[in-house]
Amino acid sequence: MSPQSEETAERQVGEFTIGDPIATAPKSTVEVPQPDEQWQLPNGFAHVYYGERNQGIVRPVIMADGFNLGRSDLDWLYQGLNGADGGYPLLSELRRRGRDVILIGFEERTASILDNAQAATAAIQRTIAEQLGDAGLAVGGFSMGGIITRYALARLETQRMDHRTRLYFSYDSPHRGGVVPVGLQAFAHFIPVANDFARQMNSPAARQMLWRHYDPGTGRIGVAPEREEFLRTLADVGSWPRIPRILAIANGRGDGTGLDITPGDTALSVRRIYPGTTFSTQAQGRDVVVAELKRSFPKAEKTITTSGFPETDGAPGGTLRSYGILADMLKKFGAEVDLVHEHVCFVPSVSAVSVRDIDQQKDLYVDIDDLDPGESDADDFICSSTNTGHTAITEELCTWLLDRLPD
């Protein structure tokens, strides 16, 4: 590869994002019917699919899209929730049972959670206005969509507005924070030009959602000010809705068993294009090296370290192909890579069922199944029997949810 080609590759390698798999282009597609209604909402939009034999909205289930860069694609979301790539056909089963499916999308998924909650609020209010009968609503979302709807419902209650919601659910939502390895976050800004990955990692939503954030301006690794402010705002509306029953679903295990990842192990190493760059899995301790970043154009090196982190990469939880996605892009532009750990934890189980914070090793790896269920902020919750992909739509988790929907 010529130096000019290598420079071009280094500049273009950041054109990727790390987001919810259910809302990305599926490898194997399933049919998406025409929506019965399409709504334009503040900062978003919705597609409405009536339940079988329904002539309008009768028994609504409102579900919000999650985290990624750019505008929601509700056709992709429909497929991800309905059996694409081997998943469980959740939407078909809902509609077969006479439930009306309302999918909420956002004009910009990395916008502030508070801004996108306006779309969720408007969707709830329009559903109530159009509904035939008085059946209670089920409202929730996937990944960040669960946080958006949580805030929207809590705020409506603070305003003393009747949301008529009997059930709120979250599906692998990062209630206590999500985890993107800080070495990867730093790499997004090490790329010498503006890029999609950097925009995503430094977006309002990422700053509000991530347990620890890498600030590109200061190099500081910590709780972003935007997260602190969001948590205060959430507390101001009571933190959770109080009227509906609260359900929480985790794609990770509940017995404290994490991924087969050795702390401090090499996760990904690169030759040609960012040659010598390596990423290591998160280990405990002070000044732990998690990434050695090197580039040629312009030549630069940077070491990324953490202090006081638990072993987040291998924690029980819903996983993302965080290192795998980067490896794919590097190879696309001619790099040679050694990919050891393709998947790492994104939403720890303790975060998804809101039972413990993830700051300490003992809490991150706690045996949730052995705890008093009352420790959770949810009224009822389920953890997956295996650590599965973040927002993976499995029969085990979906049938549990379906059995608990309001009459």
What is the residue-averaged pLDDT of the chain?
Answer: 96
pLDDT of 222: 98
Judgement on whether residues 248 and 202 belong to the same structural domain of the protein: no
The yes-or-no verdict on residue 1 having pLDDT over 70 is: no
pLDDT, tens digit (0-9, with 9 covering 90-100), for 9-65: 888 999 999 989 998 999 989 999 999 999 999 999 999 999 999 999 999 999 999
The yes-or-no verdict on residue 182 having pLDDT over 70 is: yes
* CATH classification of the domain holding 384: 3.40.50.1820
**Stretch 196-211: mean pLDDT, rounded?**
98
407 domain residue, yes or no: no
Judgement on whether residues 161 and 280 belong to the same structural domain of the protein: no
Judgement on whether residues 308 and 388 belong to the same structural domain of the protein: no
Question: What whole-number distance in Å separates Cα of residue 64 and Cα of residue 154?
Answer: 16
What angle separates helix 144-158 from helix 225-236, to the nearest 10 degrees?
40
The domain boundary, picked from 309, 329, 346, lies at 346
For residue 292, which amino acid is it?
A: E
Question: What whole-number distance in Å separates Cα of residue 183 and Cα of residue 131?
Answer: 48
Judgement on whether residues 201 and 60 belong to the same structural domain of the protein: no
Question: What whole-number distance in Å separates Cα of residue 306 and Cα of residue 347?
Answer: 19
Tell me the residue range of the domain where 10 lies: 3-17+178-224+259-346
Q: What is the layout of strands, in order, in the sheet containing 380-384?
A: 37-41, 44-49, 100-106, 60-64, 137-142, 165-171, 245-253, 380-384
Q: Cβ(322)–Cβ(181) under 8 Å?
A: yes
CB atoms within 10 A of CB 191: 19
Question: What whole-number distance in Å separates Cα of residue 69 and Cα of residue 196?
Answer: 8
Judgement on whether residues 126 and 148 belong to the same structural domain of the protein: yes
The domain boundary, picked from 346, 366, 389, lies at 346
pLDDT, tens digit (0-9, with 9 covering 90-100), for 329-364: 999 999 999 999 999 999 999 999 999 999 999 999
Q: Which of 341, 319, 362 is nearest to 20 (CA)?
A: 319
The yes-or-no verdict on residue 88 having pLDDT over 80 is: yes
358 domain residue, yes or no: yes
How many independent structural domains does the chain possess? 2
Judgement on whether residues 127 and 248 belong to the same structural domain of the protein: yes
| C-alpha distances in Å from residue 121, one per residue of 77, 125, 217 | 20, 6, 34
**Per-residue confidence at 221, pLDDT binned at 50, 70, 90?**
very high
The yes-or-no verdict on residue 300 having pLDDT over 90 is: yes
**Per-residue confidence at 272, pLDDT binned at 50, 70, 90?**
confident
CB atoms within 10 A of CB 218: 8
Judgement on whether residues 184 and 164 belong to the same structural domain of the protein: no
Judgement on whether residues 80 and 106 belong to the same structural domain of the protein: yes
The yes-or-no verdict on residue 6 having pLDDT over 80 is: no
**Per-residue confidence at 111, pLDDT binned at 50, 70, 90?**
very high
**Stretch 308-335: mean pLDDT, rounded?**
97
Judgement on whether residues 105 and 211 belong to the same structural domain of the protein: no
323 domain residue, yes or no: yes
Per-residue H/E/C for the chain: CCHHHHHHHHHHCCCCCCCCHHHCCCCCCCCCCCCCEEEEECCEEEEEECCCCCCCCCCEEEEECCCCCCCCCHHHHHHHCECHHHCCEHHHHHHHCCCEEEEEEECCCCCCHHHHHHHHHHHHHHHHHHCCCCCCEEEEEECHHHHHHHHHHHHHHHCCCCCCEEEEEEECCCCCCECCCHHHHHHHHHCCCCCHHHHHHCCHHHHHHECCEECCCCCCEECCHHHHHHHHHHHHCCCCCCCCEEEEEEEEECCCCCCCCCCCCEEEEEECCCCCCEEECCCCCCCEEEEEEEEECCEEEEEEEECCCCCCCCCCEEEECHHHHHHHHHHHCCCEEEECCCCEEEEEHHHHCCCCCCCCHHHHCCCHHHCCHHHCCCCEEEEECCCCECCCCCHHHHHHHHCCCCC
Judgement on whether residues 303 and 271 belong to the same structural domain of the protein: yes
pLDDT of 3: 63
